[in-house]
Amino acid sequence: MATPTQPVADQKRELLRHVLATVAYRGSKALRGAPEEFASFRASETTRTPAKILAHLGDLMDWALSMARGKEEWHDSTPLAWDEEVRRFFAATSALDTYLGSTEPLAVTTERLFQGAMADSLSHIGQIAMLRRIAGNAIKAENYSRAEIVAGRVGAEQTSPKQEFD
């Protein structure tokens, strides 16, 4: 956790790791227990499927890592099978967290990483959660401010919710 005696750049980097852990926590909740057929669910003809959104989430994490390393690249991936895409998302999230937790320099500002890939990821996780509800497989709401979210915990396995409600 960042402390007041750390340089501002280090504090920002730690905050970004906390945001990434939040992405993983919320992503884990939105993805966990989704039925197999959910991957291809369409709320309308113009909406992306959950599988496409999840592939985009993996692409966002890969893009953020490429930016952090100073070799910005974007890939528009074709979705894998749902379980593989879930693993890909968390592997990409973990790779980004490992880099952010290292002493390697960031080639872009923490603000740029946040306003692009991180903020976009939170939006898309919300879309998946909303699609779960529309598809008849809603996740429970939660008071996320009470969740045990810790920088570095970026895998599918997360702590149990402290306070959920319908």
Question: Coil, strand, or helix at residue 164?
Answer: strand
pLDDT, averaged per 10 consecutive residues of the chain (166 residues), comes to 71 97 98 96 97 98 98 98 98 98 96 98 98 97 95 96 88
The neighbouring-strand residues paired with 164 are 142
Specify the pLDDT at position 97.
98
Q: How far apart are CA 100 and CA 136, in angstroms?
A: 37
DSSP state string for 12-30: HHHHHHHHHHHHHHHHHHH
The answer to whether 31 touches 87, Cβ cutoff 8 Å, is no
The answer to whether 100 touches 15, Cβ cutoff 8 Å, is no
User: Does the predicted TM-score (pTM) go above 0.75?
Assistant: yes
Write out the CATH class of domain 8-165: mainly alpha
